[in-house]
Structure 1
Amino acid sequence: MSSRGPMSATVEGPVRVLHVDDDEAFLDLATTHLERHDIEVVTAQHAEAGLDALEESDVDCVVSDYDMPGMDGLEFLEAVREDHPDLPFVLFTGKGDEGVASEAISAGVTDYLQKDIGTDQYAVLANRVLNAVDRDRSKRALGEHDRRLETLLRNLPGMVYRCLNDPGWPMEYVDGEVQELTGYDAEAFESGSVLWGEEVIHPDDRETAWQTVQDALGRSEPFELTYRIETADGDLKHAWERGRGVWNDDGDLEALEGFITDITRRVEHRQKLERQHARLEAMIEQSPDMINVHDEDGAIVEANRRFCEELGYTEEEALEMNVWDVDADADPEDIAAMRDETGDDDLRRIEATYERSDGSTFPAEAHLTRLDTAGDWEFLVFSRNVSDRVERDRELARLREGYETVFEHAQDALFLLEVEADDGEGGSPSFVFESANPAQEELTGVSEAELRGKTPSEAFDDATAGAVESLFGSILETQETATFETELSFPAGDAVVNASVSPVVVDGEVTQLVGVARDTTERKRRERELRRERDRLEEFASIVSHDLRNPLNVAEGYLEMAREADDPGKLGKVADAHDRMRTLIEDILTLAREGSTVTDFEAVDLADVATDCWEPVDATRATLRVETSRTVLADRARLLQVLENLYRNAVEHAGPDVTVTVGDLDDGFYVADDGPGIPGDQREEIFESGYTTSRDGTGFGLTIVSEIVAAHGWTVEVVESETGGARFEVRGVEFA
């Protein structure tokens, strides 16, 4: 039989009885009377049927006859007690034998009642049943109460106590998690060896705790307080206590009873939340961003200081506004759509136009997320005035457009390379062309489309790639701009390149290289020409200041002597000096007029030129042999000067009987004589200006030869001839 809840002394709730009797008519009559006393009746006509009924129905009491066929009432009682030892059992029998009554009481019957004549017996039966049920319910209720109390104490997250109202609060009784809470066992408190108020409560909290309890007792109210306790191990905990005073019938306070539990985690959690809240509130209020919260209908419910200051509203004014009052681009329909489209954990970026209280506007960037607060949706919005960024973007766009224009139309070659880090296995970083302008193609002969995505070694030959990558590697190490000028070989041809390459450094690493290059080949050529011309002018200045000064001094000296001595014979020396100066002047003018290059080439018969320029040479006893029939590409007049100077040099140094031969070389021609030749240690000096071993020579004849040969792009070298004389070999000549 299932248990029922606790009952008071008076039976509460419906009472159900199983009545077993073999007399059907008696059962019907008894049922009628019992039901008048609000007793539900289940009937059975023999004991076996009664046991079946107990299995099928919950009943509060069994009423049974004694004398029944098969199993009598006492045997039935014994069978009931096997499964329902505490179920009230009333033996209601017509057999009024004292022996039966005694046996029934010994068997554990709850009550014994004899059947009688008349209807009063049913009222007595009903009373006996109700009393038996009441006692049973009270007994079970008390047992259940004790069991629940024991369970409560066993599972209570703390301790219960009874103590005296004394500052030390000596404990008369403690139970529950005493050891877990304090580190002391219950006996330590109940014996008085540990006083709660003097040894457990933290010293700084004792006075406040005592006063709080006394104030509540003075009002005859329960007390509730929190304080810190020190455990037996010296640990500090936070405790929560609730209790009340217990007064006797005379109104005197006997003791305090209450409950104490550990709230350390709750206090620490609350303190942590308070700190987090304080930090969060400070972050929100001090944030450089505008922060506001609005509900799902668009009404602003919270706004930080920056939000109000930026828009020119007080906090009170802001909290009376809707989103569309601030965002000029929004309306209620937009807010509704945003509400429907924003899911959990979504972070939406919104570009907006915010309007200040004075009507001015500014662009804003907002980030919005949804909050679920107590079942309602709210939306947290972080906004920032991006006027500066918008203007900066516009400026960047203008700069980018200007950069692209410059990039495309710059006369200098511009290029950009990506720096790809090494593979982590000891390999070197690689440089990959990302873009280049049209001028780069003019310089290198490689289009941007062909260049993009390639490394220097993939775009150029090994020598050029090696030089370029070596330079790039040094830039990675120094992270500084490098400027260089060198001759490189490109598909478009060799060129002298002046370049400046700068690194783009991000987080301490070079990520890109930006370069500007210019073809300086022509400039370098002009510089070399100017250098030669400057050297030539310096030579002329030296000649004028030195070589002409000597014969001029000689002429002036002899002229003065002729005047003083009236000796006309001295004038011959003057005339010789003038001839010397005239020759020097002619050679200097020739040297100055030659220039450094020849541009007017023509087909010249070498034999004809060699013969024509022999006649002006004062060599009546000398012999010329022309052993060539080739036609060369040259400036005829300047070639005549070369041969004439070589002839004169041979006559001056080899003597009037010299034989001069003009012959062919594989790549040029030669002029040789059969004179004494030129010593080997003097062969490199003979082409220098002013160098001569002849008393009558100017030292410029071979210099003129060297200049004219170089102007043609040829070379000249002096070696020993077959006869032991001097042989001038001119090479690099192009034949027609």
Structure 2
Amino acid sequence: MNESPVGITISDPSRDDNPIVYANEQFEHITGYAEAEVRGRNCRFLQGEQTAREPVAEMRTAIDAGEPVTVELRNYRSDGTEFWNRVSIAPVRGDDGEITNWVGFQQDVTVKKERERRLRRKERRYQSIFNDPNILVGLIDTDGTVIDINQTAMEYVAATRAEIIGTPFPITPWFDHSAEIQRDVREWIERAAGGEYVEFEADLVGPSGDPYTVAGVIRPVTNDDGEVVSLLISDRDITERKERERKLQRYEAYLEGSTDIITVLDDDGTITYQSPAVERILGYKTDELIGQNGFDFIHPDDEAAVFEEFTDLIAEPKNTVTVECRFRTADEGWRWIEIRGTNYLDDDAVRGIVANSRDITDRREREQALTQLQQRTETLMQTTTVEETAQVAVDTAQDLLGAELSGCHLLGDDPDRLEPIAFLDAAREGSNEPPTYDRQADTDPPSKLVWDTFERGEHLVIEDTREYDGLAEVTPTRSAVIHPLGEHGVFIVSSTTTDAFDESEKTVIEILATALTAALDRVEREQELRRQIERLDKFASIISHDLRNPLNVATGHLELARQECASEHLDGVSNAHDRMEALIDDILALAREGKQESESEPVDLAAVSTGCWQTVATADATLVVETERTFQANPSRLQQLLENLFRNAIEHGGADVTVTVGEVADGFYVADDGPGVPEDEHDRVFDLGYSTAEGGTGFGLNIVREIADTFGWDIRVTSSAAGGARFEITGVGGSDA
């Protein structure tokens, strides 16, 4: 390669700024400047914007020191183009040793600098590849001998680089666990040495026995003549990637085989995968929904709740949420589905939200039916007549089960006939009235079947009336469930189709029949109770009118007798009148006990006690209140309870008795310091008519127990600290103020 021409300049340091006094033709060839243009100028005019400061400073230092120097720097030609200039300057000295001139030599080395730059770039590229911490790199000879190996590769073997270099690559520790792998490596080397670009993948075993997988290439390295001179091996550890691939394969197999709908969505809800189960459950082709947003198929009433759950889901990796919603089907219907979504956005094998969805339409319908059944049974518990109760039951059978031929048949005045009490219009069976079932009608198959079921007391399921002789010919019913209602009658739920009721619907019928039986029992009890109350009202009226009027007459005559004569026997008559008055008051209280309202409100025990004390004839008795308890009760009935306890204390303890109202756990007590109640009589004090006080009616404590029972409270008698009687009432709830 020919050297580039050398431009020569001579400068005169004895003149200001050391100007050029000579330039040869080669200088003009290199720089584009003629001698006439540069004579008298300092050579710095060749410098420009990209000229580095360091070589310029180095030349100045040499000039100041009077020493020669060679530098390479970027200069500019007369047309403004750049070139690399190798500049050598040297002093010329006279006989006296003084510098007379400076000689400069310029040489264009641009081509050489570019070649060096490309070489350095290749070197950096090679080093970056060879020393890449993520790549296993080795350089081997064409015969397979290891020339060099990087540190990343050495981390996979229990050996040193010195032990590896110079060793045939196939027998190095990477492959000594398998003769088959060694054969493969030899084959790969032979192919690469022949100029082939060889790709490979190998399952290897590390020093600790842990398996790993690498994948890479063997590249032939050629000289300028195309001859293969070495082989460059580079590979990566793909163990994690292979495991992800295996995991993904297993996951895909699970998705394809799942009976539930498996959906994968991205973070905005777009469907990226759909399992085949979507066709069976929702009617869509497997790939029909891919690319569409899943929220577009959710019922508008459910979309907000589902979106909220989805937003929470994507906010946290591995998070899981479950939501129920209605999803549009391919035929524009709706199915209830339960979606269990898990966030796998950070999982390289999935990168999405995995939704496992199952059809819960039947379950939701059952739940809805049970909710309606609960509401209807609550309604049954609020009915007031037998007819209303029965009609609620048959209407429920129609609404929940579509049982269009249902009816309720109960015993009436005739013990041999089950009369239709409630029925649906369709149950008329083509006549003006629904059927009556007669015990004596042996020739009527429906009557015989119904009466047999009622008397046996066990429900009967008829899947197909054709299974019963003569039944199909006389009734439009094709399937039915007959439930006895205790001693009331039967509840018949029927349909015009065979096998109309599945197991869950039969359970609904059983629950409904049980609730109907309980409701009929309740209605009968309440009707009997109303009759008793009416009798009590009459009884109270007799006491209030028929007894009190003669008593008032007797009392008036007693006063007249006192005016005509003075007799100690008249006091006995007066006492008898007072006892009769007290008996009438107590009997009226008992008679009206079942009629009093039981609505409760918060009451202050201390305030009520003090108020009651003012209404009782207390003489010289004393009330002590040691409580701040409040609880729920009917104020008037609580007042009646306390007044009777106070009267009882005064009657048995005397005019100067001290009565104390205090607290016990979950309740309160009323105690006195009177003579008390003998222990063997504690169980009898609340019995009707029991009294130990002279003139006592024996009704007061019985009334107290009746009121306590109405509230659901417990009451017992014991001895007070002073030896008197102590009545404890518990179960009142409430709290201490």
TM-score by length of 2: 0.37
TM-score by length of 1: 0.37
Structure with higher Rg: it is: 1
